[in-house]
Amino acid sequence: MLTNFKNAYILIVDDTPKNIQLLGTILKNIGYKIIVATNGLQALGILEKIKPDLILLDVMMPELDGYETCKRIKATDNLKNIPIIFLTAKTQPEDIVKGFDLGAVDYIVKPFNSSELAARVKTHLELKFNQDMLQTLLNFQRDMVLMTDGEKVIAANYSFLQFTDSKNIEEFNQKYPNIMTFLDFGTGSDKDKNSSLKLQRLPNDEEFQVKMKTANDITLIFRIKQNIVPEKEVSILSLTDITQLENQKNSLEEKASIDELTKVYNRTKFQQLFKQTIEENKINPRSICLVIFDIDHFKKINDTYGHNKGDEVLVNISQFIKAHIRMSDILCRWGGEEFTLLLVGSNIEDGIKICEKIRMLVEKYPFIEDRPVTMSMGISQYLLTDTLESFVARADNALYRAKKSGRNRTERN
Ligand SMILES: [Mg+2]
């Protein structure tokens, strides 16, 4: 497939008819399709209508010479990737360098050897074909794919350009002189154009998450994978949009941690948060109190007013208490009409005051029209020797005593 370029279009630009004829004959004999122009302006006119696969460009021409023609072609977005080979009688190094600087891929010195000419044309058609294939492959990816030297983007696919609202790579590099200012690793960097920033924190084959904003200011989450090209000092990044996955994960996690009826934390989440609090306490020790409380004679409420009313009381009491505790306090439905409350940063005296305040507020609030709803509470303060079980057991013991002593009260242990 790569050796058959019979369908390739080659534009020959030369002001000498003899050259055109010679070149044309060689190339046509191979099987290429030929288009000709006798000066730079005419070539530019043809390029507005036809996009050849390669251009053979004479340097010395009247009006618009080869260098200027090349410059204009390279400045045109949809033409700049067409390979240009200069045809020149000039063999001075500075002339040759100038041609390459303008973006030519090769030069052929006149008078030319026909087999050398054919070989060079074929090589550059193959290169162009491979590049186009690669770009097509990249564009085929829904993921964003880009190649970078750690600072600048060298190549990118259509998804990437579209996401960054850039016409081409040059435009992207102008907007973001450093790729690191574009990728938000959530490190709180102030996105200044700090040139010392270099993409190096991505070890090969490891995956990272970054947040990026779309042109419409929507933040999306991407998983980045980096592959370093050995000995080339470039790496290829692929960025997969995982925003939806992350949102699903978060909502599932939330679902798994919330009591369905009352919308306060469930027992599993409470245990997790307790562990976390104890870990944090090793670094930053504070007083912690645990309260276990339940609704007095809850069975009677269910029996008298029905289970729906009972559920309604549970929901309303949970939300009422949640509204009267601090942000740092952790409320959980332990089971049935039983709740736990973790008070972080409160000693037992403060904890009792909090319990009494809540208990009295609940007693006064009309959860049921014709009778007050009361609660019994047991509280214990965390000891370094405590496990969650022993901590809960002591508070539970205090709750038992509160019940025994007539309910609607707080006991400590
Ligand atoms: Mg000439």
Domain boundary among 213, 242, 271: 242
pLDDT of 204 reads 57
Could you tell me which of 137, 139, 156, 158 has the C-alpha nearest to residue 236? 156
Mean pLDDT of 352-366: 97
Residue 198: pLDDT over 70: no
Q: Residue 3: inside a domain, yes or no?
A: no
Query: 70 is in which domain, residue-wise?
Result: 9-138
- CATH code (residue 14): 3.40.50.2300
CA of 107 to the centre of ligand 1 (A): 14
CA of 16 to the centre of ligand 1 (A): 6
CA of 32 to the centre of ligand 1 (A): 22
pLDDT of 196 reads 38
Q: Residue 162: inside a domain, yes or no?
A: yes
pLDDT of 187 reads 46
Q: Which of 14-28, 80-94, 227-241, 314-328 has the lowest mean pLDDT?
A: 227-241
Q: Where on the phi/psi map is residue 125: left (φ > 0), alpha (ψ -120 to 50), or beta? A: alpha
Residue 342 neighbours by CB distance under 10 Å: 21
Mean pLDDT of 88-101: 85
CA of 329 to the centre of ligand 1 (A): 86
Q: Residue 252: inside a domain, yes or no?
A: no
Are 388 and 282 contained in the same domain? yes
Q: Residue 61: inside a domain, yes or no?
A: yes
Give this prediction's pTM. Answer: 0.52
d(CA 295, CA 291): 13
Residue 229: pLDDT over 70: yes
pLDDT of 367 reads 95
Domain boundary among 207, 242, 277: 242
pLDDT of 197 reads 40
* 346-366 b/e (C-beta count within 10 Å ≥ 16 → b): bebeebbebbeebbeebeeee
Q: Torsions phi, psi of 323, nearest 5? A: -75, -15
Residue 11: pLDDT over 90: yes
pLDDT of 195 reads 34
Are 160 and 293 contained in the same domain? no
Mean pLDDT of 73-82: 92
Q: Residue 249: inside a domain, yes or no?
A: no
CA of 191 to the centre of ligand 1 (A): 52
Are 363 and 330 contained in the same domain? yes
Quickly tell me which residue has 């690191």 as its tokens.
180
CA of 41 to the centre of ligand 1 (A): 14
Are 54 and 111 contained in the same domain? yes
CA of 282 to the centre of ligand 1 (A): 83
Q: Which of 92-101, 205-214, 404-413 has the lowest mean pLDDT?
A: 205-214
- CATH code (residue 165): 3.30.450.20
Are 234 and 273 contained in the same domain? no
CA of 5 to the centre of ligand 1 (A): 27
Q: How many domains does the chain have?
A: 3
Are 235 and 356 contained in the same domain? no
Q: Residue 2: inside a domain, yes or no?
A: no
Are 267 and 395 contained in the same domain? yes
* % pLDDT > 70, the chain: 93
pLDDT of 253 reads 86
Are 212 and 275 contained in the same domain? no
Are 133 and 158 contained in the same domain? no
- Secondary structure of residue 156 in the 3-state scheme: strand
d(CA 200, CA 268): 40
Residue 69: pLDDT over 90: yes
Residue 333: pLDDT over 60: yes
Q: Residue 57: inside a domain, yes or no?
A: yes
pLDDT of 398 reads 97
CA of 14 to the centre of ligand 1 (A): 6
CA of 56 to the centre of ligand 1 (A): 12
Summarised one tens digit per residue, pLDDT across range 303-329 is 999 999 999 999 999 999 999 999 999
Q: What is the mean pLDDT of the chain?
A: 89
Are 200 and 280 contained in the same domain? no
CA of 126 to the centre of ligand 1 (A): 27
CA of 13 to the centre of ligand 1 (A): 9
Contacts of 386 (CB under 8 A, 6+ apart): 394
pLDDT of 182 reads 78
CA of 129 to the centre of ligand 1 (A): 29
pLDDT of 205 reads 60
Residue 159 neighbours by CB distance under 10 Å: 19
Are 406 and 268 contained in the same domain? yes
Domain boundary among 90, 106, 138: 138
Q: Where on the phi/psi map is residue 103: left (φ > 0), alpha (ψ -120 to 50), or beta? A: left
CA of 125 to the centre of ligand 1 (A): 24
Q: Residue 327: inside a domain, yes or no?
A: yes
Summarised one tens digit per residue, pLDDT across range 144-193 is 999 988 889 999 999 899 888 888 899 999 988 888 777 766 544 444 43
CA of 214 to the centre of ligand 1 (A): 50
Are 108 and 52 contained in the same domain? yes
Instruction: Give me the amino acid identity at 304.
Output: T
- CATH code (residue 335): 3.30.70.270
pLDDT of 135 reads 82
CA of 61 to the centre of ligand 1 (A): 5
CA of 40 to the centre of ligand 1 (A): 11
- Secondary structure of residue 79 in the 3-state scheme: coil
CA of 53 to the centre of ligand 1 (A): 22
CA of 19 to the centre of ligand 1 (A): 9
